[in-house]
Amino acid sequence: MIAATKDAKNLNIAYIGGGSRGWAWGLMSDLATESELGGTVRLYDINKQAAENNAKIGESLKGRVDVVSSWNYEASDSLQQALTGADFIVISILPGTFDEMHSDVHLPEEYGIYQSVGDTAGPGGLVRALRTIPIYAELAEQIRDYAPDAWVINYTNPMTLCTRTLYEVFPGIKAIGCCHEVFGTQKLLTHVVEELLGEPAPDRREIKVNVLGINHFTWLDKASYKQHDLIPLYREFVDRHFQDGFEAKGTGNWLNDHFASAQRVKFDLFRKYGVIAAAGDRHLAEFMPHSWYLKDKETVHSWKFGLTTVDWRKSNKVRLEEQGSKLASGEEAFELKPTGEEGVEMIKALLGMTELVTNVNMPNTGQMDDLPLGAVVETNAVFGRDAVQPIHAGKLPPALHAHIARHVYNQEAILRAALDKDRSEALRAFQNDPLVSLSPDQAEELFDRMLANTKAYLPGWE
C-alpha cells in the first residue's frame, strides 16, 4: 500500500523506455513544475546512451528558477535495477523499430489497404501487437518479481493489448492505460460552447463527459458544460461544419500537420450513431470498414485527414536525436512545456493528495455492459489513495456496440495468439479485421509477408 505512508518528496519512479525524446521529456517538464512531488526517476532503455542523455537533461534542471521541485535522474543498467523499490512505473516504449513499423503501415498498401496510424487496429496494429505482447509479458513478470505494489502507468500502443497483457500475466498488477484522445474531444467541445453559447472557450476539464468504448475507438454518450447538455448543441455544430470540417484557430491545418484533421470522420460518425466519437479521425477511421474512410488516398483526402508516413517518423527521430544530444551537452536549454497529460495528477491522486476523475483503460469488471469481463475497456474512473475505481459507463447504441464487440473479441484472439505463438489464430484475427477487405488467400499472403518482416520480435514462432 504505497500511498498510505509514502513521502511525496521522496518517490521512486521507474521509467521504462526512458530514452524517449517525447514522453520522457514531457514527464520531466511536468514533474519540474509540480512543487508537491520529488524524488528519483530511474530511466531504463535498451538504448542505454539515450537514457543516459535523458538523465543528463533531467539533472540539468536542478537549480533553475523556473523549476519548483527536486528530482534526481539516473540511467539504470538493468530493468531489475530500475524496478526495485519503485513506487510508480511509467512505460512508454517503441516495440521494435521504425523498420518494422514501415512494414506494418506501408506493406498493406500494396494490397490496397491504407492506414493512417497503424499502431492499434488494421493489419499494422495486429502485427505490432504480436511483437509487443511478448515484451509486455516479460515486463509483467519483472514487475511481479521486483515491484509488485507499484502503480503502473502505460502509454505504449496498442494500448488495449499492452494493458491486457500486464493483467493476464500478473493478475495482481495495479496498472492503468492512459490516452489523451478524449482530451482532444473535450477541447473540441469547448469550441461548441464558444460558438453556440457565446461564452469564452472554457478549460477542457470543465466539459463533463461519460466515456465508453475501447482505446482509440472511444465514445461520449453524455457531455455537459455547467447546466448545458452539449449533445444537441454538438448536433447543431456538426450540421454547421460537416461539409468543410472544423479546425480551431491556431491549431494548424490538416494538410500540413501529420496529426491534425478537420474532424469530418468524427462528425460523420456522430450522424450515423448519435453519440460523439472521442478519438482523433486518424484512429477512428481504422476501426471502420475499409470502404468508409480509407478506401484509397483520394477518399482519405476527401475526409480531410492524413496518412502519417513512417518515413516522416524516421526523419523526425533523427531530428529529436540531434536535439537530445544538444540538450544533454548543454548546447541547448531544456524548455519547460506543460504536456496536458494527467500522469502527474494521477500520481498525486494515488498518493491521496487529491481526487481525480479521468478516462483510463482497465479490465472490464462491469463498467461496460455486454462486453466480456476482463477485456480492457476505456471509461472514466475515480482515483483516490492507492485506488482506481472504474465508473459504470453503460452500453453504446446496438449498431455501434456491434463494431466495438467485434474489435474486443478480435483483440482477445490476438492476445491468445501472441501468448501461444499460434499462427492460425493470429491469421483468423487478421482476416477478421474490417480493414482487411481481401480474399482469404490474399490476406494470408499479406499476413505471412508482414510476419516475416517482424520475425526478429517473434521468438518461438515457427
Given this model, what pLDDT does residue 113 score?
98
Residue for grid cell 453504446 = 396
In this predicted structure, what is the pLDDT of residue 35?
Answer: 96
Provide the pLDDT for residue 456. 94
Instruction: Give me the architecture of the 103-116+178-308+341-462 domain, per CATH.
Output: Alpha-Beta Complex (3.90)
Instruction: Please answer whether residues 279 and 216 qualify as being in contact, where contact means their C-beta atoms are separated by less than 8 angstroms.
Output: yes
Q: How far apart are CA 38 and CA 61, in angstroms?
A: 13
Q: Could you report the average pLDDT of every consecutive run of 10 residues in the chain (462 residues)?
A: 70 94 92 97 96 96 95 97 98 95 97 97 98 97 98 97 98 97 97 97 97 98 98 98 87 67 97 97 97 96 94 92 92 92 96 96 98 98 97 97 97 98 97 97 98 94 80
Burial of 299 (0-12, 13-18, 19+ CB in 10 A): middle
CB 69 within 8 A of CB 31: yes
- Listed in order, strand segments (DSSP E) in 137-202 are 151-154, 174-177
For residue 240, the model assigns a pLDDT of 97
Contacts for 321 with CB less than 8 Å, ≥ 6 apart: 21, 50
> Which homologous superfamily does the CATH classification assign to the domain defined by 2-102+117-177+330-340?
AglA-like glucosidase (3.90.1820.10)
Active-site entry in 102, 180, 191, 401:
180
Reading the block at residue 227, the C-alpha cell is 447546466
CA distance linking residue 215 with residue 403, whole number of Å: 13
Helix (H) or strand (E) holding 90: strand 88-91
What's 71's DSSP letter? E
Q: Could you tell me which residues come within 8 angstroms of residue 433 by beta carbon, excluding any fewer than 6 positions away? A: 121, 122, 123, 126, 410
Give the pLDDT confidence score for residue 157 in this predicted structure.
97
Length of the chain: 462
Burial code of 114-131, b = ≥16 C-beta within 10 A, e = fewer?
Answer: bbbbbbbbbbbbbbbbbb
Asked if the domains 2-102+117-177+330-340 and 103-116+178-308+341-462 are classified in one and the same CATH topology, the answer is yes
Q: What are phi and psi of 6, to 5 degrees?
A: -70, 135
Indicate if 180 belongs to the active site: yes
Cell numbers linked to 261: 484533421
Give residue 260's pLDDT: 80
Task: Report which residue type is found at 424.
Answer: S
Rounded Cα–Cα distance for residues 238 and 78 (Å): 51
Helix, strand, coil tally for the chain in percent (to 5): 45, 15, 35
CA distances to 68, 338, 350 from 6, in Å? 20, 26, 10
**Buried/exposed 242-259: b ≥16 CB within 10 Å, e otherwise:** eeebbbeeeeeebeeeee
Domain locations along the chain: 2-102+117-177+330-340, 103-116+178-308+341-462
